[in-house]
Structure 1
Amino acid sequence: MKNLFINVIIIIAFSSCASTNLVHISVLQPAPVTLPPYIKNVVVVNRTEVSKKSKVFNVIDKAVSLESPNLDKEGSQATITGLSDELKKNNRFDEVTLLTNSGLTTDAPGMFPAPLPWDLIEKYCSDNNADALFSLELFDTKSQIDYSVNKTTIKTVLGNVPAIEQQANMHTIVNAGWRIYEVRGKNILDEASINRTITFHARGINPLLAAQALTDRREAVKEVGNVAGHDYAFNIIPLWVRVTRDYYVRGSASFKIATRKARTGNWDGAAKLWQAEVNNPKRKIAGRACYNMAIINEINGDVDSAIQWAQKAYENYNNHLALSYVNILKNRKIDDVILEDQQPR
């Protein structure tokens, strides 16, 4: 993966241990879901429309959970749009097809239904020249409302009159669940859900007026659904994260000079000074120098060399930071293999 997957942010902070500083670096981590390299075209569908036989139960559920009939329908459409838009931004795919009226339904509103039959998946993929199908299998909103009272005044023709103001607070949970169907191998590559909570506040001089003020929240639910779609797309996109590494700043006069070079971003200059100390007759200094050489090699994207230097620091000089660092680097090697599979070809 080399230095394509790691770049250095030159931010140095003192750690609690006086002999080390921290360097912050950016590392590319694999996406939670790996798609086979052959998947170039995908189709996105909405399966959350409730089937006829389940509509009676769904109406009851929506009445109990304080939801309007079309809230889930409009929210789910915004969710598949959000996913489709984010997938189109990713050069992983050649074509992303959004089907706003797929005709698919669910018999299990509010929960994951049984997976789609493979003959139906094959039809949708064949009709849309797709290698995989992203299906929104679940979209559900549930709300809870509570009231509180506050003293206030209202203006009348007789002047300001004391009154009790009712405040209504509604907490709406939006739950969106996805499956990814890979048609060639007939595999379900992922099944996951994303939850978001929206809180609304409204006031009125009686509970009914306060509650009525909360009914127009459709746009907020659509917006949250759209964001949930965007967020799910990141399940298949490698993510840059910031991590910290300790490096030694004390040991000899050369370490002090190297530290000043590192602080200015001159890592190559620092590395030359550390390299000169790896055979220092003082074992502690040599171990620290070997460890720092592991750090600079990771910064430069050479994880294999970093592992070798860290192993030398621990095995030959019993450096106390090196053993855990070896394990970190080995995990990075595993991640690099996964990242190779996740890159478009």
Structure 2
Amino acid sequence: MKIKNILYLLMISIFVSCGTSSVIVNIQRPADISVPQSVQKVVVVNRSTAGKENMVGNIVEGIFTGEGIGADKKGSEYCVMGLTQMLSNSERYELRGGGDLNLKGTGTSTFPDLLDWSKVKKICDTYGADALIVLSTFDSDSRTFEGKKVVKTKTIKGAKIKEVRYPVTLVMEIESGWRIYDATTKKIVDVNTFTEVKEYVEWGNSYDDARANLPSKRQALKSSGIFAGEQYGFRITPVWTKQNRLYFTGKSEKLKLAKNYVKRADWDKAIEIWKSLTNHEDYKIARKAYYNLALASEIKGKLNTAIDYAEKAEQMGENRAVTYISTLKKRQTDEKRLQEQLNN
């Protein structure tokens, strides 16, 4: 698999302020960890639900916590869904199966005993896979609390009217534990537990009104469960993200013309204009041109050139260039990790 070079801007934002505009670009970020290259074809397994010996305890927990009987089971399915959706679009792995394989576990936040390697191999052989990515634990918790009311004064037809608004927040907390079994090397290549918290805030004319506007706990569990699975996806697979980049427009007619070319994704024409401005008698325009050339170079995948241009802008006193240089250097480091992770 080859790393896709960053091509051209996907969208021009409407944001214009202090002589700047912005573009949104697609950037591939590396996974948080590098999984061994022996792991290519994977099966996602849900082993977080309770076996018979743990079933009673889970029912009691559901009753006393108010989470509902079977809520964690459903939540774990959403969690697996979040991960499988990411892996199905991954350039790093080939997903085998649809994430519908279930094995019994503890049904609690406690990890079950390790799977026997003969069982791991049997499952992998069945699916033609190298490894199992196993959701080993899953636990959800929700709570609702009322915030401080806010009083605002509105003027309607010359009359001042007080409006009182009441906030209510639903907090959904998901704890998920994962293991990756490498069938080839018979090693656990990752084991970790993560806690994700999502908040849903609604306002109303009363606390009851605000509470009625909140999503149901089932809806919140679904979105939070999927989110938790996606977060583990970020840990193990490179993903494409959208990032915002600023560039200078200003009052110069040439900078305005270059902006029009950027809107049409004609970076070559914009580069011609910016290069012609690097020797401008107004050093402020010259440093802006260098900064913009750094962005154009990044867009074209030339990070070394981008850093050179950004450093020239910094030397001429462009303060924004300091942060941008750090961003570009981080991207260089990320590119090296991506090459390792995607086996380029």
1:41-69: CA deviation from partner (whole Å, max 9, x where unpaired): 22322222335655554343222113554
1:326 aligns with 2:325: yes
Question: Which residue number in structure 1 is paired with residue 17 of structure 2?
Answer: 16
The answer to whether the 8 Å contact 1:133/1:181 transfers is: yes
Distance 2:257 2:89 in 1: 45
Partner AA of 1:187 in structure 2: V
- Who is 1:162 aligned against? none
Change (3 A) 1:25 1:144: closer
Q: Is residue 250 of structure 2 the alignment partner of residue 255 of structure 1?
A: no
2:62 and 2:70 in contact (8 A); partners too: no
Relative to structure 1, the CA distance from residue 96 to residue 232 in structure 2 (aligned partners, 3 Å threshold; closer, same or farther) is farther
After TM superposition, list the pairs within 5 Å mapping 1:121-160 onto structure 2. 122-129=117-124, 130-142=129-141
Letter aligned with residue 122 of structure 2 = D
Calculate the aligned-residue CA RMSD, in Å. 3.9
Equivalent residue number for residue 80 of structure 2: 80
Matched to 1:327, the amino acid is: S
Deviation at 1:280, TM superposition (A): 3.7
Residues 288 and 319 in structure 1, CA contact (< 8 A), matched pair in contact too: yes
Partner in structure 1 of residue 273 of structure 2:
273
Given that residues 277 and 286 in structure 1 are in contact (C-alpha distance below 8 angstroms), is that contact kept between their aligned partners in structure 2?
A: yes
**Deviation for aligned residue 1:326:** 1.1
Q: Structure 2 residue aligned with 1:188, among 187, 190, 207?
A: 190
AA aligned opposite 1:80: V
Shift of 1:135: 1.7
- Say if 2:238 and 2:338, in contact at 8 Å, map to a contact too: no
Query: 1:153-207 CA distances to partner (integer Å, 9 max, x unpaired)?
Result: xxxxxxxxxxxxxxxx9x79473513132433533255324456899xxxxxxxx
- TM-score if structure 1 supplies the norm length? 0.68
Aligned residue runs from structure 1 range 33-112, under 5 A: 33-50=33-50, 54-77=54-77, 79-80=79-80, 83-84=83-84, 86-97=86-97, 98=99, 100-103=101-104, 105-106=105-106, 109-111=107-109
Which entry has the higher C-alpha Rg, 1 or 2?
1
Asked if the contact 2:249/2:256 (under 8 Å) is kept, the reply is no
Matched with 1:338 is 337
Q: Normalized against structure 2, the TM-score is what? A: 0.68
Instruction: Name whichever of 263-272 and 253-262 sits farther off.
Output: 253-262
State the partner residue of 2:151. Answer: none
Q: Match of 1:122, as an amino acid?
A: W
The 3 A distance-change label for structure 1 pair 344 and 122 is: farther
Q: What whole-Å deviation, never above 9, does each CA across 1:130-153 have from its counterpart, x for those lacking one?
A: 43322222233456699xxxxxxx
Between 296-305 and 57-66, the greater mean CA deviation after superposition: 57-66
Alignment partner of 2:10: what SS?
Answer: strand
User: Which amino acid is 1:271 matched to?
Assistant: I
Report whether the alignment pairs 1:242 with 2:237: no
Q: 1: CA distance between counterparts of 2:23 and 2:88?
A: 35
Change (3 A) 1:75 1:336: same
Aligned partner of 1:274: which letter?
Answer: W
Is the CA contact (8 Å cut-off) linking 1:254 and 1:273 kept in structure 2? yes
Q: Measured at CA, do residues 190 and 335 of structure 1 come closer, stay the same or move farther in structure 2, by a change above 3 Å?
A: farther
Note the residue ranges of structure 1 that are not aligned, 5 or more in a row.
Answer: 147-168, 200-216
1:179 corresponds to: 178
Give the Å deviation of 1:87: 3.0
Structure 2: stretches of 5+ with no match in the other structure: 146-167, 202-215
1:134 touches 1:178 (CA, 8 Å); kept in 2?
no
Identity between Structure 1 and Structure 2 (%): 24
The match for 2:298 is 298
Would the aligned equivalents of 1:182 and 1:189 in 2 still touch at CA under 8 Å? no
Contact 1:10 1:24 in 2 (8 A): yes
Contact 1:125-1:131 at 8 Å conserved across structures: no
Which deviates more, 24-33 or 235-244?
24-33
Q: Are the structure 2 counterparts of residues 127 and 296 from structure 1 closer, same or farther at C-alpha, using a change threshold of 3 Å?
A: same
Q: Secondary structure at the match of 1:61?
A: helix
- Three-state SS of the structure 2 residue aligned to 1:26 is strand
1:300–1:127 distance in 2 versus 1, CA, 3 Å: same
Which residue of structure 2 aligns with residue 165 of structure 1? Answer: none
Shift of 1:274: 1.6
Equivalences for residues 162-177 of structure 1 within 5 A: 173=172, 175=174, 177=176
